Amino acid sequence: MDLSQMQAVSYWKIYSSFLRNIICFDWGTSTASGQSALSIVSSGMLESLKIIIPSIIISYIIGTLIGIWAEKSKKANSVWNKSQFIFYIPMIVISYLMLYFLSFVGVDFLSNVKYVAAMIALSVYPVYVITNALKKTLQELGSSDFLVFHMALGFSTDEIWEKFCYKFIVIDYLSFFENMLIFMIGFLFFVETPFGIHGMGYKFVIAIQRFDYPVIIGFCIFGITLLSIVGLIVEAIKLKLDPRLTSV
Protein backbone atom coordinates (compact mmCIF):
# COMPACT_ATOMS: atom_id res chain seq x y z
CA MET A 1 0.00 0.00 0.00
CA ASP A 2 1.54 3.31 -1.09
CA LEU A 3 1.36 6.63 0.76
CA SER A 4 -1.70 7.96 -1.10
CA GLN A 5 -3.68 4.80 -0.32
CA MET A 6 -2.68 4.99 3.34
CA GLN A 7 -3.84 8.61 3.48
CA ALA A 8 -7.17 7.69 1.86
CA VAL A 9 -7.73 4.94 4.43
CA SER A 10 -6.77 7.31 7.23
CA TYR A 11 -9.16 10.00 6.01
CA TRP A 12 -11.98 7.49 5.74
CA LYS A 13 -11.35 6.23 9.28
CA ILE A 14 -11.36 9.78 10.61
CA TYR A 15 -14.57 10.62 8.76
CA SER A 16 -16.36 7.42 9.80
CA SER A 17 -15.27 7.98 13.39
CA PHE A 18 -16.57 11.55 13.17
CA LEU A 19 -19.98 10.38 11.92
CA ARG A 20 -20.18 7.68 14.59
CA ASN A 21 -19.43 10.18 17.33
CA ILE A 22 -22.08 12.56 16.01
CA ILE A 23 -24.73 9.84 16.02
CA CYS A 24 -23.73 8.84 19.56
CA PHE A 25 -23.84 12.50 20.73
CA ASP A 26 -20.12 12.39 21.44
CA TRP A 27 -19.16 15.80 20.07
CA GLY A 28 -15.86 16.04 21.85
CA THR A 29 -14.54 18.48 24.41
CA SER A 30 -14.80 22.24 24.34
CA THR A 31 -11.51 23.79 23.31
CA ALA A 32 -12.28 26.84 25.45
CA SER A 33 -13.53 25.42 28.75
CA GLY A 34 -12.50 21.76 28.63
CA GLN A 35 -16.07 20.65 29.34
CA SER A 36 -17.95 18.10 27.32
CA ALA A 37 -19.67 19.72 24.34
CA LEU A 38 -22.78 17.67 25.09
CA SER A 39 -22.98 19.05 28.64
CA ILE A 40 -22.65 22.62 27.35
CA VAL A 41 -25.37 22.10 24.75
CA SER A 42 -27.64 20.36 27.28
CA SER A 43 -27.29 23.08 29.90
CA GLY A 44 -27.91 25.76 27.28
CA MET A 45 -30.97 23.91 26.01
CA LEU A 46 -32.49 23.65 29.50
CA GLU A 47 -32.02 27.38 30.06
CA SER A 48 -33.52 28.27 26.69
CA LEU A 49 -36.52 25.98 27.13
CA LYS A 50 -37.49 28.08 30.15
CA ILE A 51 -38.01 30.91 27.67
CA ILE A 52 -39.14 29.18 24.48
CA ILE A 53 -41.97 27.00 25.82
CA PRO A 54 -43.76 29.78 27.75
CA SER A 55 -43.19 32.17 24.83
CA ILE A 56 -44.91 29.80 22.41
CA ILE A 57 -47.86 29.31 24.76
CA ILE A 58 -48.24 33.03 25.43
CA SER A 59 -47.88 33.88 21.73
CA TYR A 60 -50.69 31.53 20.74
CA ILE A 61 -53.01 32.61 23.56
CA ILE A 62 -52.54 36.37 23.17
CA GLY A 63 -52.41 36.21 19.37
CA THR A 64 -55.64 34.20 19.27
CA LEU A 65 -57.46 36.54 21.64
CA ILE A 66 -56.36 39.66 19.77
CA GLY A 67 -57.19 38.08 16.40
CA ILE A 68 -60.73 37.18 17.47
CA TRP A 69 -61.23 40.57 19.10
CA ALA A 70 -59.96 42.47 16.06
CA GLU A 71 -62.10 40.41 13.70
CA LYS A 72 -65.33 40.85 15.66
CA SER A 73 -64.96 44.57 16.40
CA LYS A 74 -64.27 47.23 13.78
CA LYS A 75 -62.96 49.57 16.44
CA ALA A 76 -60.60 46.91 17.74
CA ASN A 77 -59.46 46.17 14.20
CA SER A 78 -58.72 49.86 13.66
CA VAL A 79 -56.70 49.99 16.88
CA TRP A 80 -54.82 46.87 15.84
CA ASN A 81 -53.98 48.24 12.39
CA LYS A 82 -52.68 51.49 13.87
CA SER A 83 -50.54 49.78 16.50
CA GLN A 84 -48.83 47.18 14.32
CA PHE A 85 -45.68 49.30 14.01
CA ILE A 86 -44.85 48.30 17.60
CA PHE A 87 -44.21 44.74 16.48
CA TYR A 88 -41.51 45.87 14.05
CA ILE A 89 -39.30 47.21 16.82
CA PRO A 90 -36.11 45.09 16.85
CA MET A 91 -36.09 42.44 19.55
CA ILE A 92 -32.78 43.62 20.96
CA VAL A 93 -34.27 47.10 21.43
CA ILE A 94 -37.30 45.67 23.23
CA SER A 95 -35.00 43.63 25.47
CA TYR A 96 -32.88 46.61 26.49
CA LEU A 97 -35.93 48.83 27.00
CA MET A 98 -37.38 46.22 29.34
CA LEU A 99 -34.01 45.88 31.04
CA TYR A 100 -33.84 49.62 31.61
CA PHE A 101 -37.41 49.82 32.88
CA LEU A 102 -37.06 46.90 35.28
CA SER A 103 -33.75 48.19 36.61
CA PHE A 104 -35.37 51.62 37.05
CA VAL A 105 -38.10 50.13 39.26
CA GLY A 106 -35.51 48.17 41.22
CA VAL A 107 -36.08 44.60 40.02
CA ASP A 108 -33.40 42.09 41.00
CA PHE A 109 -32.20 40.33 37.85
CA LEU A 110 -30.68 37.49 39.82
CA SER A 111 -34.24 36.27 40.35
CA ASN A 112 -36.51 34.47 37.88
CA VAL A 113 -37.87 37.81 36.67
CA LYS A 114 -35.23 37.76 33.94
CA TYR A 115 -36.88 34.70 32.39
CA VAL A 116 -40.26 36.42 32.38
CA ALA A 117 -38.79 39.53 30.73
CA ALA A 118 -36.97 37.47 28.10
CA MET A 119 -40.12 35.45 27.46
CA ILE A 120 -42.15 38.61 26.83
CA ALA A 121 -39.52 40.07 24.50
CA LEU A 122 -39.29 36.83 22.53
CA SER A 123 -43.06 36.51 22.07
CA VAL A 124 -43.75 40.02 20.75
CA TYR A 125 -43.34 39.35 17.03
CA PRO A 126 -44.96 35.86 17.11
CA VAL A 127 -48.07 37.48 18.61
CA TYR A 128 -48.20 39.74 15.57
CA VAL A 129 -47.84 36.80 13.17
CA ILE A 130 -50.48 34.68 14.91
CA THR A 131 -52.96 37.55 15.14
CA ASN A 132 -52.76 38.39 11.45
CA ALA A 133 -52.85 34.73 10.44
CA LEU A 134 -55.96 34.10 12.51
CA LYS A 135 -57.68 37.23 11.19
CA LYS A 136 -57.00 36.15 7.62
CA THR A 137 -58.25 32.62 8.28
CA LEU A 138 -61.46 33.85 9.92
CA GLN A 139 -62.13 36.23 7.02
CA GLU A 140 -61.57 33.51 4.44
CA LEU A 141 -63.73 30.98 6.26
CA GLY A 142 -66.52 33.49 6.86
CA SER A 143 -66.86 34.30 3.17
CA SER A 144 -65.87 30.95 1.69
CA ASP A 145 -67.92 28.82 -0.69
CA PHE A 146 -67.25 25.97 1.71
CA LEU A 147 -69.37 27.66 4.40
CA VAL A 148 -72.15 28.59 1.98
CA PHE A 149 -72.27 25.07 0.54
CA HIS A 150 -72.65 23.38 3.92
CA MET A 151 -75.24 25.89 5.07
CA ALA A 152 -77.22 25.08 1.92
CA LEU A 153 -77.08 21.41 2.92
CA GLY A 154 -78.81 22.26 6.18
CA PHE A 155 -75.85 22.54 8.54
CA SER A 156 -75.99 25.34 11.07
CA THR A 157 -73.09 27.76 11.39
CA ASP A 158 -72.14 26.32 14.77
CA GLU A 159 -72.11 22.77 13.38
CA ILE A 160 -69.90 23.81 10.46
CA TRP A 161 -67.44 25.53 12.76
CA GLU A 162 -67.37 22.62 15.17
CA LYS A 163 -66.89 19.93 12.53
CA PHE A 164 -64.67 21.67 10.00
CA CYS A 165 -63.55 25.24 10.62
CA TYR A 166 -61.78 24.72 13.93
CA LYS A 167 -59.68 22.04 12.27
CA PHE A 168 -58.65 24.48 9.55
CA ILE A 169 -57.57 27.01 12.17
CA VAL A 170 -55.50 24.36 13.96
CA ILE A 171 -53.93 23.38 10.64
CA ASP A 172 -53.02 27.01 9.98
CA TYR A 173 -51.49 27.25 13.44
CA LEU A 174 -49.45 24.13 12.79
CA SER A 175 -48.35 25.46 9.41
CA PHE A 176 -46.27 28.22 10.94
CA PHE A 177 -45.43 26.55 14.25
CA GLU A 178 -42.14 25.20 12.95
CA ASN A 179 -41.20 28.57 11.45
CA MET A 180 -42.04 30.25 14.74
CA LEU A 181 -39.81 27.77 16.57
CA ILE A 182 -36.98 28.49 14.13
CA PHE A 183 -37.52 32.21 14.68
CA MET A 184 -37.36 31.87 18.45
CA ILE A 185 -34.24 29.70 18.41
CA GLY A 186 -32.57 32.04 15.94
CA PHE A 187 -33.25 35.15 18.00
CA LEU A 188 -32.52 33.70 21.43
CA PHE A 189 -29.21 35.53 21.59
CA PHE A 190 -30.98 38.91 21.47
CA VAL A 191 -33.04 38.16 24.57
CA GLU A 192 -30.60 36.01 26.50
CA THR A 193 -27.63 38.38 26.35
CA PRO A 194 -29.31 41.50 27.81
CA PHE A 195 -30.80 39.53 30.70
CA GLY A 196 -27.72 37.42 31.41
CA ILE A 197 -29.29 34.08 30.55
CA HIS A 198 -26.74 31.49 29.45
CA GLY A 199 -28.95 29.60 27.05
CA MET A 200 -28.43 28.17 23.57
CA GLY A 201 -28.26 31.51 21.79
CA TYR A 202 -25.75 33.01 24.19
CA LYS A 203 -23.51 29.94 24.34
CA PHE A 204 -23.62 29.40 20.58
CA VAL A 205 -22.44 32.94 19.83
CA ILE A 206 -19.74 32.70 22.51
CA ALA A 207 -18.57 29.42 20.96
CA ILE A 208 -18.32 31.11 17.55
CA GLN A 209 -16.30 33.97 19.01
CA ARG A 210 -13.92 31.48 20.64
CA PHE A 211 -13.72 29.19 17.59
CA ASP A 212 -14.97 26.40 19.84
CA TYR A 213 -15.81 23.98 17.03
CA PRO A 214 -17.01 20.98 19.10
CA VAL A 215 -19.62 23.16 20.79
CA ILE A 216 -20.59 24.82 17.49
CA ILE A 217 -21.07 21.42 15.85
CA GLY A 218 -23.04 20.21 18.87
CA PHE A 219 -25.48 23.12 18.73
CA CYS A 220 -25.92 22.75 14.96
CA ILE A 221 -26.62 19.03 15.20
CA PHE A 222 -29.00 19.55 18.09
CA GLY A 223 -30.89 22.27 16.22
CA ILE A 224 -31.18 20.20 13.04
CA THR A 225 -32.35 17.14 14.99
CA LEU A 226 -34.90 19.10 17.01
CA LEU A 227 -36.40 20.87 14.01
CA SER A 228 -36.51 17.64 11.99
CA ILE A 229 -38.41 15.84 14.74
CA VAL A 230 -40.80 18.77 15.23
CA GLY A 231 -41.36 18.97 11.48
CA LEU A 232 -42.23 15.28 11.24
CA ILE A 233 -44.65 15.52 14.17
CA VAL A 234 -46.32 18.62 12.74
CA GLU A 235 -46.74 17.05 9.30
CA ALA A 236 -48.16 13.88 10.84
CA ILE A 237 -50.75 15.89 12.78
CA LYS A 238 -51.65 17.94 9.71
CA LEU A 239 -52.06 14.77 7.68
CA LYS A 240 -54.43 13.44 10.32
CA LEU A 241 -56.51 16.62 10.55
CA ASP A 242 -56.61 17.91 6.99
CA PRO A 243 -59.14 16.03 4.83
CA ARG A 244 -57.61 17.58 1.73
CA LEU A 245 -54.39 15.68 2.43
CA THR A 246 -55.89 12.37 3.55
CA SER A 247 -58.05 12.17 0.44
CA VAL A 248 -55.08 12.45 -1.93
Among residues 7, 5, 111, 130, which one has the least CA distance to residue 67? 130
pLDDT in tens, 210-223: 899 889 988 988 88
Number of domains making up the chain: 1
| Sequence-separated (6 or more) residues with CB below 8 Å from residue 130 | 59, 60, 62, 63, 64, 67, 173, 176, 180
Report, as an integer, the average pLDDT of 151-161: 71
Among residues 104, 244, 106, 94, which one has the least CA distance to residue 175? 244
Residue 6 lies in a domain: no
Q: Which domain holds residue 141?
A: 40-246
pLDDT in tens, 100-118: 888 888 777 667 888 888 9
As a whole number of angstroms, the distance between CA 69 and CA 130 comes to 13
Q: Given a cut of 80, is residue 241 above it in pLDDT?
A: no
Residue 29 forms beta bridges with which residues?
A: 36
Residue 67 lies in a domain: yes
Q: Given a cut of 50, is residue 246 above it in pLDDT?
A: yes
Angle, helices 200-209 vs 37-72, to 10°: value is: 130
**What pLDDT is attached to residue 6?**
47
As a whole number of angstroms, the distance between CA 13 and CA 17 comes to 6
Residue 26 lies in a domain: no
As a whole number of angstroms, the distance between CA 29 and CA 247 comes to 50
CATH of the domain at 133: 1.10.3720.10
Mean pLDDT of the residues in the chain: 82
Residue 2 lies in a domain: no
**What pLDDT is attached to residue 2?**
45
Residue 187 lies in a domain: yes
Residue 17 lies in a domain: no
Among residues 93, 91, 117, which one has the least CA distance to residue 103? 117
Spell out a b/e string for 169-184, using b for 16 or more CB atoms within 10 Å of the CB, else e.
bebbbbebbbebbbbb
pLDDT in tens, 80-104: 888 888 888 888 888 888 888 888 8
